[in-house]
Amino acid sequence: MRTPHALLAMAAALAATAVAPPSHAAAPVPAAGTYYVQSAVTGLNAADKGGAVEQHRPKGDEDHQRWNLRAEGSGYVLESADTAGSCLGRSGDQARTVNCTAADAAWEIGPAGDDRYTLKAPGADRYLTLAPQPAGATHPAQLAVGAAGALAAWYLTPVTAPTRPMPPGDQRTLDQMTFLTAHNAYANGVDGGFAPPFVNLFPNQARGIGAQLTDGVRGFMLDIHQTPDGAILCHNSCTLVSRPVALWVDLQRMVDFLRANPDQFVTVFLEDYVDPGVLRSELARVDGLSDVLYRPDRTGVRQNGWPKLADLVAANQRLLIFTDHSRSADEAAGLTRDSFGVLYQREWTVENYWSMGAGVGSSDWSCYSRWYDAGTNIPLTRTEGAFRPLFVMNHFRDTTVAATTQTDNTKLADRARRFCEPAARKKPNFLAVDRYDLGDPASAVAALNTYVYP
C-alpha cells in the first residue's frame, strides 16, 4: 500500500486551520481539511473517474476519493486531493469534476441531521444526490444532481479523524473495544476434521479452540451444518469430513473458559445452515451456557447504546452469540433464534465484505458492506440514534496461504486506520483474521484499544 506522506502532511495542515462558514450557512460546516464525501444511504464514496463522479467502494488513497474542503467566496469547493485545480462539481444533471474556478464547482453546504450534510448548487434547488435505484438493482454508480431528499444526504468524513484516549478500564463500553477474532476458528486441524480431504490441507487456523482462548482470541467465527448428529462444524459441507466437531463441544470449551476466567468476554459468529430447532437443542447441551449468555435484546441496548464491559462482567453476561441466518425465514418456520438467545447479526452489527482476494498475489483493501446488494442495504456507516452497531472487520483471503497471511496480518492496523475506520465511521470491534499466530495481529488489537474513534 502506498503512503502519500506529502498529501497526509497537507491534510494535517489544512485540518489545523478552521474555515469560518459563509454568512448564509444555517449550521456549522466542517473545518477545512481532507474528506471523503460519503453517501449516507449506501456508505460509498464519491470518486473521480476520468471526470465522472461516481460512488465507489471506500478505498483510502487509492481511488481518487479524497477531497480538500475549503471556503471559496460565499460557498465552498471540494478540490481533488490527487488533481490540483479539479473540483467536485456538476454538469447538467450529473456530478462531474470541473475546474475549481468554474461556477459549477461551488456548493452551499447545509445540515441534513445526524452529522449529515447537503451539497446544494447556489441559487437553485438542485443537490448532489444518488441516482434513483432501478427496480431490483443497487443505485447506479454515476452520481446525480437533482431533488432534495434522503438520497441527497452526505457525510463529510475526515480522511484522518482526530481520536481521544480510551477511557479507564471500568468505563469502556462494549462498542469502544476491539477483540481479536479467529475466522473459521473451528478449521484448525487440531480439534478434528473440518472439510473434505483436499480442502482440509488449508486450515484457517493452526491451533485448537482451547489454545485460541488461551492466546487471547475473543471472537470466534464458526460454520455449522445440519446432520443427523445435530449442528456440526464443517466448511461448506460435512460430507467426507473425518472426525468433525459438534458445535456444542466448542461452545462448552468457551463456557468452561469463561467460568475459569470471570473477567473475560467472548463473542461467537455463526455461519448458520441449520434449522432453529436443531440449534436450540444443540445449545441446550452446553452446561452453564444460560449462566453467561448476554441478551442485549432484553436490556435496552437499541435505545440506550452498548453498556460498559465492566458492567457486563459484573452481571456475568459474557457470551454473545450471533447468527447470519435470516429472521424472516425463521418467522416463516415458526421459531426465531433470538427467542433462545441467538441474535440476528444484521440487526446488531455491520460487516465489511469478507475477501481481500485470492490466496496469493495483490490484495484489495477496499472496505465496503458485506450487505449491500439489490435486496439488502446495510451500510457500514449505519447508526440508529444512541445505538451504534458493532463493526466486524474481515481481513483475510479466499484461501489461507501462510506466507501471504503473515504479510497481510502485519498490515492489519494500517488497513483498519486508513481504510476501514473512515469507511465505517467507527472503530472495528472485531478484527477477524486467518492464522492469528502469524504477523502478530494481537498488536493491532492492542493499538486499537488505546483510543476511541470520535
Q: What is the pLDDT of residue 6?
A: 36
Instruction: Quick: pLDDT tens for 297-353.
Output: 999 999 999 999 999 999 999 999 999 999 999 999 899 999 999 999 999 999 999
Strand pairing category for 219-227 and 230-233: antiparallel
Of the ranges 6-10, 251-255, 420-424, which one carries the lowest mean pLDDT score? 6-10
Confidence of residue 402 (pLDDT cuts 50, 70, 90): very high
Residue 3 in this model has a pLDDT that exceeds 50: no
- CA neighbor of 45 nearest in space, from 372, 346, 413: 372
Rounded CA separation 445/133 (Å): 38
- CA-closest candidate to residue 262, choices 314, 320, 210, 209: 314
pLDDT at residue 17, as a whole number: 32
Report the pLDDT averaged over residues 202-228.
Answer: 97
Predicted confidence at residue 170, as pLDDT, reads 96
Taking the domains of the chain in order of start, what are their residue ranges?
A: 33-158, 164-452
The number of helix segments (H) and strand segments (E) in the chain equals 13, 24
Q: Is the pLDDT of residue 11 over 50?
A: no
CATH superfamily of 164-452: Phosphatidylinositol (PI) phosphodiesterase (3.20.20.190)
**Rounded distance, CA 227 to CA 248, Å?**
14
Q: How far apart are CA 444 and CA 438, in angstroms?
A: 12
* HSE, side-chain direction, 13 A CA sphere, residue 420: 29
Q: Quick one: pLDDT band at residue 12, thresholds 50, 70, 90?
A: very low
Mean pLDDT across the stretch 88-99? 98
We find that the CATH architecture of domain 33-158 is: Trefoil (2.80)
Confidence of residue 32 (pLDDT cuts 50, 70, 90): very high
Q: Which of the four pLDDT bands, split at 50, 70 and 90, describes residue 114? A: confident
Q: Is the pLDDT score of 15 beyond 90?
A: no
Least confident of 96-100, 240-244, 253-257, 394-398: 240-244
Strand 179-182 relative to strand 219-227, pairing: parallel
Vertex 53 angle, CA 52 and 58, to 5°: 130
Distance (Å, whole) CA 385 – CA 340 = 27
pLDDT of residue 135: 84
Give the model's confidence band at 13: pLDDT under 50 very low, under 70 low, under 90 confident, else very high: very low
Reported as a pLDDT band with limits 50, 70 and 90, residue 5 is very low
* pLDDT-derived band at 231, boundaries 50, 70, 90: very high
Mean pLDDT across 224-239: 95
Identify whether the C-beta of residue 142 lies closer than 8 Å to the C-beta of residue 52.
Answer: yes
Q: What pLDDT score does 136 carry?
A: 84
* CA end-to-end span of the chain: 25
- Percent of the chain scoring above 90 in pLDDT: 88
pLDDT per position as a tens digit, 347-397: 999 999 999 999 898 899 999 999 998 889 999 999 999 999 999 999 999
